[in-house]
A and B are shown apart, each in its own frame.
Chain A
């Protein structure tokens, strides 16, 4: 449990955060650049000095009323910096050993960590010869071997290209699942967060504007301006069924319906996959459609419809089994079809993809 009650003046506004985080799985701090996310991580790690209190699992780290500020090296928190900050005077092995030497009681073995992050082949390299993704993995390994009780990742994907980013996601996922280490990560790229996070804290101009389970926050991300309205949508969980190499497709099961997504994947049957389905990519039909190119058709009931006179669009929330899908249609189309809450409906998903 991480309890934060902080105030820190920044250049244009104040960082003012009052948060209780369970901090069990992966928590994502989300928000536009300059919204105070990295400063918040620095406050938790002890590199920024706000007014207020920070308590982690009942241990106070900061309490300015009582003039208490535990210095960074005595907080059981690991931090992976955006620019990795590997020590240039040490090679990869030296960087890793730097952490081990200062935390000899670590329960994690070097072998285990090097295995999880796949860095055995890198150990004798110089840090400046590594690629961006390799540097990130070494930095994470080094942070893990300092035996933190909480791991902070500052924009772990920002320096990576799309391929490296896709490769990085499973490592972070594995680290949380295998090591049961709570992770707080800062990101402004929604797709990464969608695949990784359990819990999301959305920030804007130094304040928390929304928080909750990832699917809930995504569902109203458009309303609170966290993403462009035209990119808003819903996060649905599907399970992997099989690869279809003939057509280069992956077959998934979503609430009993079959969904095909482009590309094949190394997943196993039954593995969970998160799908971000944008509302603009979903069309609606009253009757089961025939002779259309769209193959992903889900049957459900209209849960609610939101529309205002100012916008040409209506947002229709469709209940599919236990999950909800968002569709954006014009208000005219909604009126012509006579859409009403409770009505059975077919949702046609034009485009869907996932990141692994």
Chain B
């Protein structure tokens, strides 16, 4: 019996987090790529922290931050009516923070490689800064966006520690694939563990294969 609810929650979590990170990560990356402000290394360090911190540390603080006793958690409860911890919304918040560097860093690289020159050309043709971003920076950073999206999506699917700390393991609500596998192994249900693990393995390979294949195609096209 395949545990479809875990698969669907995982995919939904990855999709929602990735979409949210487009909106949050892109402006951060754009700012980091272009600013000369003294606070740039501070912001860069904060953004990169999830890469080095054990997920449990991150999960622990997020748990405290989101608990109904904290100001943020209280605000959430009064607005939505349920606790942010051990809910799908809480998982999304945690995933956004945990996967932030996977969105920001490839985009920042892409924007830095772009440099100011194409944007100046666009400005000289009458394009406003906003117009320059959408008509020139985004299409010329296509590879950066593809890489950032795939890494963020895949990384969210694979996360374990933070999800366990913040989401717990509530079937149909916060139980994702990685946790389901862990539990299957704990109770020695290797068949179930195999089904999910092999599925994740194949999924990861296909996604990465598609990225590398498209990137090669893009590199030919963009010269």
Contacts and interface: CB of A to CB of B under 8 A. Distances in A.
A102 B118 contact: no
Interface in B170-223: 222-223
Contact of B118 (A46, A47, A71, A85): A85
A196 interface: no
Interface residues of A, number: 24
B126 A103 contact: yes
A98 B131 CA distance: 11
Contacts of A330: none
B62 interface: no
B35 interface: no
Contacts of B37: none
Nearest to A127: B223
Contact of A79 (B124, B127, B129, B136): B124
A146 interface: yes
B117 A99 contact: no
Contacts of A103: 125-126
A77 B126 CA distance: 9
Contact of B125 (A46, A88, A89, A142): A142
Task: Pick the most buried of A77, A87, A146: most chain B CB atoms within 10 A of its CB.
Answer: A87
Contacts of B125: 73, 78, 98-99, 102-103, 142-143, 146
Nearest to B128: A73
A78 B124 contact: yes
B140 A89 contact: yes
Contact of A146 (B120, B126, B136): B126
Interface string A32-50: 0000000000000111000
A72 B222 contact: no
Contacts of A46: 123
B139 interface: yes
A85 B140 contact: no
Contact of B131 (A72, A77, A79, A102): A102
A81 interface: yes
A83 interface: yes
Given A98-B135, A102-B131, A128-B223, A85 B126 contact: no
B2 to A, nearest CB: 42
Contacts of A102: 125-127, 131
Main secondary structure on B side of the interface with A: helix
Interface in A44-86: 45-47, 71-73, 77-79, 81, 83, 85-86
Nearest to A77: B124
Contacts, number: 68
Contacts of A78: 124-125
Interface string A100-118: 0011000000000000000
A89 B128 contact: no
Contacts of B116: 47
A78 B126 CA distance: 9
Nearest to A103: B126
Contact of A81 (B121, B129, B142, B222): B121
B124 A72 contact: yes
B120 A72 contact: yes
Contacts of B122: 73, 87, 98
Contacts of A87: 118, 121-122, 136, 140
A85 B127 contact: no
Nearest to B138: A89
A71 B123 contact: yes
Contact of B117 (A77, A85, A98, A128): A85
A128 B136 CA distance: 17
Interface in B93-144: 116-118, 120-129, 131-132, 135-136, 139-140, 142
Contacts of A98: 122, 125, 127, 135
B222 A88 contact: yes
Nearest to B222: A88
A125 to B, nearest CB: 13
Contacts of B139: 89
B124 A143 contact: yes
A62 to B, nearest CB: 15
Nearest to B223: A128
Contacts of B121: 79, 81, 85-87
A83 B131 CA distance: 22
Nearest to A142: B125
Given A89-B139, A103-B125, A146-B126, 19 more contacts: A47-B123, A71-B123, A73-B126, A73-B128, A73-B132, A77-B124, A78-B125, A79-B120, A81-B121, A85-B118, A85-B120, A87-B118, A87-B122, A88-B222, A89-B136, A89-B142, A98-B127, A102-B127, A102-B131
Interface of B: 116-118, 120-129, 131-132, 135-136, 139-140, 142, 222-223
Q: Which 6 A-B pairs have the closest CB atoms?
A: A85-B121, A102-B126, A72-B123, A79-B124, A89-B139, A146-B125
Interface of A: 45-47, 71-73, 77-79, 81, 83, 85-89, 98-99, 102-103, 128, 142-143, 146
19 contacts: A45-B120, A47-B120, A73-B123, A73-B126, A73-B128, A73-B132, A78-B124, A78-B125, A81-B117, A81-B120, A85-B117, A85-B120, A87-B121, A98-B125, A99-B125, A102-B127, A102-B131, A128-B223, A143-B124
